Every structure is written in structure tokens, then in C-alpha cells.
């Protein structure tokens, strides 16, 4: 029987790029479908009040990235924090990417703040520092596109770190075998990262944007990380 993944969409490409790139929910579907074509998807635009009927409607959930901050006082963010806590209590599998990674940590007792080191853009490398059964045992590091100015600065007590870098000390973590979260964007292509950086050049600053664009010459490990996400889901579904 095919499993279903509910994608809680909380962000989209900026208006300047909307005619060239699909939304974050669809980017995520494409990423995971390439790793496992048997998974079915259903997207929910949480910002527009499209809330799922309950946590057990799907076999697992994923929270996308967003231009919003996890600590903003918005009704849909408060709703999502409560939903995260309910998923955690019921041990229903949950994946968090960027904003999702941050909001899960905050909802479960951690902390999220603006990073003093400023914006992270382009391709960054993080080293594997912890263990999880769905991560390749020979993995030492991974490269992915990043786009964030906030970071998890304190993990909740229930969480264990998996990966870290000098720029982003909490790059990836898990909670038991039912939550898997990462700061980077495996669903973002290098082409989208380049165009997103150009749109934000005035906001972030030319020097950092130029360095970020130069980093896009590096290949990313997006397909490998997609396999980790699928392996995490399969592990959770068979536990």
C-alpha cells in the first residue's frame, strides 16, 4: 500500500521568480519522488488557512521553508506549533526543512534567533556529528543549498544533533525515530538558488551574494539527502 505524505506549505518563490519555478511543495514532491516513486503527496497551504483535518490524515508530514521567521506572531505559525507538538506526542513521522527545522525545534522547547554571522546562501557543507539509522554509515559530510538568516541556537532536550558546520552549528537533528529536520534545502536546485540570491542582492549585500553564487560551482548531495529522508520515512513506517 502506498504511503501518503502531507506537505505543509509555508512559503513560495518570490513574485519575481514565480513564473519560472514551481512552488516549494512541488519542489519537495519532485525531490522525494525521484528517490521513491511509491509515495503519494497532498499539499496544504497553511498560510491561507488550508489546515488538515488532523494528524492521522496522512502517514507522515513535512514542513517546507518560508520567508517568515519561526518566532513571528502569526496565527498559522501558532497553529503549526500546536500541530507539531501533537505529531510529536503521537510519534507520527515529521520532516522539517529550513523554517520547518526551526519551528519544530522551537515548538518542542528549543530556541531560534537571527544568526550573528548573517545570511547563509549558496552551497554549504556540514559534517556528520551524530548517528541516525537512516543516514549512510559511511557519510562524513554533505553539501546542500542554504538560504537563511535565522538558526536553531538551542535544541530541545528531546533532540539529538546529526550534523554541524562552523556557520550553522545545528545543521541537522532528529527526535527519536519520528522527527528528522535539516536547515539546508535539498529541494532547491542550484539554478533556483542563484536566481533567489540575485533577487535578494540588495537585502543581503553584493559581497556575500557573489561568494554564494561562486559556491554554486560545487555539486550538491541533494539526491543522497533525499534518500535519507525516504529511508527515515520507511524506517518510521515499519517500526
Active-site residue numbers? 98, 185, 187
First to last CA, the chain: 16
Distance of CA 112 to CAs 42, 50, 121, 204, 220, Å?
A: 28, 25, 18, 20, 26
- Cβ(232)–Cβ(156) under 8 Å? no
| Residue/partner pairs of 207-213 with CB below 8 Å, 24 or more apart | 208/118, 208/119, 208/121, 209/121, 211/122, 212/121, 212/122, 213/122
Say how far apart CA 22 and CA 35 lie, in whole Å.
19
Amino acid at each position: 500500500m502506498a504511503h501518503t505524505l502531507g506537505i505543509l506549505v509555508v512559503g513560495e518563490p518570490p513574485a519575481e521568480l514565480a513564473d519560472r519555478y514551481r512552488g516549494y511543495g512541488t519542489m519537495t514532491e519532485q525531490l522525494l519522488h525521484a528517490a521513491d516513486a511509491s509515495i503519494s503527496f497532498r499539499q496544504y497551504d497553511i498560510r491561507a488557512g488550508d489546515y488538515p483535518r488532523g494528524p492521522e490524515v496522512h502517514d507522515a508530514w513535512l514542513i517546507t521553508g518560508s520567508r517568515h521567521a519561526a518566532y513571528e506572531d502569526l496565527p498559522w505559525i501558532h497553529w503549526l506549533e500546536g500541530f507539531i507538538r501533537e505529531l510529536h506526542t503521537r510519534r507520527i513521522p515529521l520532516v522539517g526543512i529550513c523554517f520547518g527545522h526551526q519551528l519544530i525545534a522551537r515548538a518542542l522547547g528549543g530556541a531560534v534567533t537571527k544568526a550573528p554571522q548573517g545570511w547563509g546562501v549558496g552551497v554549504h557543507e556540514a559534517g556528520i556529528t551524530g548517528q541516525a539509522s537512516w543516514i549512510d554509515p559511511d557519510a562524513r559530510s554533505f553539501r546542500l543549498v542554504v538560504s537563511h538568516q535565522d538558526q536553531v541556537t538551542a535544541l530541545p532536550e528531546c533532540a539529538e544533533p546529526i550534523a554541524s558546520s562552523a556557520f550553522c552549528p545545528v545543521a541537522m537533528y532528529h527526535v527519536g525515530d519520528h522527527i528528522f529536520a535539516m536547515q539546508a534545502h535539498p529541494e532547491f536546485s542550484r539554478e533556483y538558488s542563484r536566481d533567489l540570491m540575485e533577487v535578494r542582492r540588495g537585502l543581503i549585500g553584493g559581497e556575500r551574494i557573489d561568494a554564494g553564487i561562486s559556491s554554486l560551482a560545487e555539486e550538491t548531495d541533494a539526491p543522497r539527502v533525499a534518500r535519507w529522508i525516504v529511508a527515515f520515512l520507511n524506517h518510521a513506517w515499519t517500526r
